[in-house]
Amino acid sequence: MGGVSFGRVAFIALVIAIFTFVIAPLLTIIWASFFVDKILTFPPTGYTLSWYARAWDLEEFANGFLMSLKIGACATVASLAIGVPAALAIERYPFPGRETVRQFLLSPMYVPAIVAGAAVYIYFIEVEILTNFQLAATFTGLVIAHTLVALPWTLRLVCASLLSANVVSEEAARSLGANALQTFFYVTLPIIRPGMIAAAMFSFIASFSDLEKSLFLVGPGKTTLPIAIINYLEWNLDPTISAVATVQIVIIAAALIISDRFVKLGKAF
């Protein structure tokens, strides 16, 4: 539309400025993670990787990092194991109340994280009082909470994948004599594989970056990376934290890139 005019240039400048506002802090922290000076000086006197080494030396970060990875992996597996069948049921076996069930299963996304975190914590404690089975401040408890976080992502992405997959191939397989299980493994699964991989990546991202739900459920020796970051920040602000934050950014960005290989990202939102 139209040509180049002052108005158009000003508009684009505004858009760029707003994007910069959102992205700049993240770029800054990545950049700052390499600064030599412990006290932030601008411009930096030099660059180093030593903060990354220091971060790894600090137990809470090393543990937090590994914990987040482990929990993320488990939550992803659980989310797929529970979410893929649910998506199948919703998209391939219409039953009464299907839409309500779908909204119900997506609801963890709409409940404020802090509210859900608090509720699950209190619930776990009560369960422990009742059954002597401890869930708060345990690995299992965290995995359960993170699976809840991841489930809506899996559901959304696999449902979208099933929706756009052509049901004709499945019907053809059935007409050729395959039973439900065989049809699923040989026909449906390959078709929704990209959607499942994207679901896995987003489940992992949702779990890895979660804060409020994990807040109540962490304990000594069992903390996640985001929470370790928050705890550190309450008392310190030095490049170590920039290094840790950068690590988290890199991990999540990697998961996103992998996901993009399989599913055009526009579909997830």
Partner 1 sequence: MAGSRNGGEARNWGGTALVVPALVLVAAFLLAPLALILRYSFDKYDPVKLMLGVFSFGNYVQAVADPYYRKVLLTTAEIAGLSTAIVMLLAFPVAYYISRVESQRLRGWLIILTMLPLLLGNAVRSAAWMVVMGSKGVANSIFLGIGLVEEPIKILYTPTAVVIALVSVLLPFAIITLQAVMDSIPTSLEEAGQSLGHSPLRTVFEVVLPLSMPGVVAASAICFALAMNAYATPVLIGGPTMKMMGPVVYEQIAKANNWPVGSTLAWILMAVTLVLTVLSTRFLSRKHF
Partner 2 sequence: MAGVTLSNIRKDYGALAAVDDVSLDILDGELLALLGPSGCGKTTTLRMIAGFVVPTAGTVKFGEREVTRVPVHKRNVGMVFQGYALFPHLTVAKNVEFGLKVRGWDKARIAARVTEMLRWVQLEALAERQPRALSGGQQQRVALARAMANHPDVLLLDEPFSALDAKLRTQMRTEIRELQRQAGITSVFVTHDQEEAMAIADRIGVMNHGKLEQLGSAEDLYKRPVSRFVAGFIGKCNFIEGRVTGPGQFETANAQVLRFSGEHAGGPAALCFRPEHATLAPSGAAGTSSTVRVTSVTYLGPVTEYEVVSEAGDKLLVAAPSSGNVASPRAGDKVSLTWRVEDAFVVD
Q: Does the footprint of partner 1 cover residue 130 (CB under 8 A)?
A: no
- Contact segment (CB under 8 A) with partner 2 among 1-9, 49-57, 72-80, 110-118 equals 1-9
DSSP symbol at 116: H
Q: Does the footprint of partner 1 cover residue 128 (CB under 8 A)?
A: no
Q: Does the footprint of partner 1 cover residue 59 (CB under 8 A)?
A: no
Q: Which is nearer to partner 1, 112 or 177 (CB)?
A: 112
Residues 196-235 that bind partner 1 (CB under 8 A): 205, 208-212, 215-216, 225-227, 229-230, 233-234
- Find which of partner 2, partner 1, none residue 40 binds, CB within 5 to 8 Å per kind: partner 1
- Find which of partner 1, partner 2, none residue 254 binds, CB within 5 to 8 Å per kind: none
Q: From the CB of 6, what's the least distance to partner 2, in Å?
A: 12
Report the chain's C-alpha Rg in angstroms: 23
Distance of CA 223 to the CA centre of its chain: 17
Q: From the CB of 51, what's the least distance to partner 1, in Å?
A: 12
Q: Does the footprint of partner 1 cover residue 4 (CB under 8 A)?
A: no
**Helix or strand holding residue 10 (H, E):** helix 6-32
User: Dihedral (C-alpha) 90, 144, 104, 208: value to the nearest 10 degrees?
Assistant: -90
- Find which of partner 2, partner 1, none residue 121 binds, CB within 5 to 8 Å per kind: partner 1
Quote the CA–CA distance of 237 and 232 in Å, as a whole number: 8
Q: Does the footprint of partner 2 cover residue 1 (CB under 8 A)?
A: yes
Quote the CA–CA distance of 250 and 21 in Å, as a whole number: 20
Q: From the CB of 132, what's the least distance to partner 1, in Å?
A: 18
Q: Does the footprint of partner 2 cover residue 2 (CB under 8 A)?
A: yes
User: Which residue in the set 172, 237, 254, 261 belongs to the binding site for partner 1 (CB under 8 A)?
Assistant: 237
Q: From the CB of 2, what's the least distance to partner 2, in Å?
A: 5
CB atoms within 10 A of CB 29: 17
Helices (H), 93-211: 98-106, 113-131, 139-164, 167-175, 180-183, 189-209
Q: Does the footprint of partner 2 cover residue 166 (CB under 8 A)?
A: no
Tell me the CA distances in angstroms from 137 to 117, 151, 217, 220, 221, one per residue in order.
12, 21, 5, 8, 9
Residue window 84-113: x/- pattern of binding to partner 1, with contact defined by CB under 8 A: -xx-xxxxxxxx-----x--xx-xx-xxxx
Q: Does the footprint of partner 1 cover residue 114 (CB under 8 A)?
A: yes
Quote the CA–CA distance of 161 and 142 in Å, as a whole number: 28
Quote the CA–CA distance of 45 and 131 in Å, as a whole number: 58
Q: Does the footprint of partner 2 cover residue 6 (CB under 8 A)?
A: no
Quote the CA–CA distance of 205 and 255 in Å, as a whole number: 7
Q: Does the footprint of partner 1 cover residue 82 (CB under 8 A)?
A: yes
Q: From the CB of 3, what's the least distance to partner 2, in Å?
A: 5
The angle subtended at Cα 151 by Cα 138 and Cα 165, nearest 5°, is: 150
**Residue ranges in contact with partner 2 by CB under 8 A:** 1-3, 5
